[in-house]
Amino acid sequence: MVKCMNCKMEEDEKLPHIKDALLDDTTAASTWSVPRTVILPISTRGIGFVIRNLVSELNKLELEGVDVYNLTNALYRISLLQLDLKIACAMKVQLVHNIGGEDFVETIVKKSYRCALEEMDTGFSALTDYITAVGFWQDSDATYLPRFAALCEEVICDPVNVRFNQLYNIVNILADECTPEYIRKDFYNKNPIPGAIWRQSEKGILLDNKDDIMFCNYNEESLTKDIEIVKTAVEKLDKVHPDAVSNSRIEWENEGTCSQLVSTAVIPFRCPSYDGDNLKNIIGEYDHFWSPEKMIDSEFAIGAACLFVITLIKTLNEPDPTVRYCSAEALGTLLKLMGDKQVGPFLIDVDSLKLAKIEECQENAEIKVKIAAKKERPATAPIREASSGTATGWFYTRYGGDEKDIYKENNRYRRKWWGHSPIRKCQRC
């Protein structure tokens, strides 16, 4: 079969590493490599946590005409649908089309639902940013593809994997006294449903408002009503806190980012039972940052500094002189600590007067480093010499370390191979 020139050009664009190696490198057979594709099992749990924290703040504002309880449940249904659509589009735009779905859930969104979601041109910034971050993502040596993992047959409901098309069945399972108590209790301890109301009964913990969370025969008309509820709340909030509102549509087929919520070890935090009079944030300590890749300490420090610097540059323009001085002092300290190479690029647009103040603070800043006291080796501990005739000596000769070090290294690489250690700063949410 003869391929046309356009098809050939498209293939060349998709495989730059192979093309460059074959054309430019005489030793291509031993040097070039194709980026690996990593499947990211996406968690739905964070959707509920973002919504719960959002509505907790909205409840304090007491916006006129906004029913926070109905808004909570409407937002949850819409956001689960939006996440489905984002995952479906990620599959559509991926570069590697030979990845099957036998171990993953096929993501299908009804055309009528999709049209309604694409027409939404306003939303809450926190949720919009969260959903926009999900998608096909390319890094220097890998490409990442988000998918929903398939549940085991014996798992009837999982707090980490609550999807729109499962929501009706899940809430009915949790409200049924015949459901084994350990299933209801486990879900309650990790509850991601922001509007769930729980009650204690003789049969254990039970979901008390299943029909409000998801009702039978949910259809396009129901989705339209949910969107109207959200639009009303967004318009009210825009008058008070415009920075918390997003006025742009979600780009469904754009690339994702490195801050996607990945399913790993379950962290014990949950949405507490919904109480309109005392609406609490989620219970438990959690981190706002998730990444599919392990980062070294210097990379993490640069990322943290980026967040600090951007915020401090904004506060440099505050009318309060004390705030301006503290911002300049903090930026000067960061400059002295990390150097002009790391912080300097962020200060390009700062005017000369403010920059002079920052440099003055940099000169006056004092960096104090606390050095931990050196621990002395116990006198009773036996000292083992590494001779070439012993097993220890063989390890030193060949690897430059003892058996314990090599054992640790082997374990580390084994864990890395099976995918347990590359995830750092990831929570299963």
Burial label, 14 (beta-carbon count in 10 A; 0-12, 13-18, 19+): exposed
Tens digits of residue pLDDT in 156-192: 788 888 989 889 999 999 999 999 999 999 899 889 9
How many domains are there within the chain?
A: 2
229, 122 contact by CB (below 8 A)? no
Query: Does residue 420 lie in a domain region?
Result: no
**282 and 307 part of one domain:** no
Query: Does residue 243 lie in a domain region?
Result: yes
Tens digits of residue pLDDT in 259-292: 666 655 566 678 889 988 888 777 764 444 444 4
**103 and 225 part of one domain:** yes
Query: Does residue 392 lie in a domain region?
Result: no
Domain stop point among 315, 349, 364: 364
**95 and 172 part of one domain:** yes
pLDDT band at 299 (very low <50, low <70, confident <90, very high): low
Query: Does residue 411 lie in a domain region?
Result: no
Q: Which of 146-150, 178-182, 279-283, 370-374 has the lowest mean pLDDT?
A: 370-374
Query: Does residue 346 lie in a domain region?
Result: yes
pLDDT at 233: 93
Domain stop point among 343, 364, 385: 364
> Average model confidence (pLDDT) for the chain?
74
Query: Does residue 148 lie in a domain region?
Result: yes
d(CA 292, CA 222): 35
Greater confidence (258 vs 239) lies with 239
Average pLDDT over residues 59-77: 92
**92 and 194 part of one domain:** yes
pLDDT band at 416 (very low <50, low <70, confident <90, very high): very low
**222 and 258 part of one domain:** yes
Residue 189's identity, in one-letter code, is: N
| Stated pTM of the model | 0.61
For 352, phi and psi rounded to 5 degrees?
A: -65, -35
**90 and 68 part of one domain:** yes
Burial label, 2 (beta-carbon count in 10 A; 0-12, 13-18, 19+): exposed
Instruction: Read off the tokens for 255.
Output: 């690339």
Query: Does residue 71 lie in a domain region?
Result: yes
131, 86 contact by CB (below 8 A)? yes
What residues make up the domain containing 284?
Answer: 36-288
In this model, does residue 141 exceed pLDDT 80?
Answer: no
d(CA 181, CA 168): 19
d(CA 184, CA 176): 9
Residue 157's identity, in one-letter code, is: C
pLDDT band at 296 (very low <50, low <70, confident <90, very high): low
d(CA 53, CA 37): 34
- How much of the chain, in percent, has pLDDT values that exceed 90? 21
For 182, phi and psi rounded to 5 degrees?
A: -65, -30
Q: Which of 44-53, 120-129, 368-377, 378-387 has the lowest mean pLDDT?
A: 378-387
Query: Does residue 269 lie in a domain region?
Result: yes
**349 and 271 part of one domain:** no
**192 and 327 part of one domain:** no
Domain stop point among 315, 345, 364: 364
d(CA 71, CA 225): 11
d(CA 307, CA 136): 24
pLDDT at 225: 95
**196 and 261 part of one domain:** yes
pLDDT at 71: 95
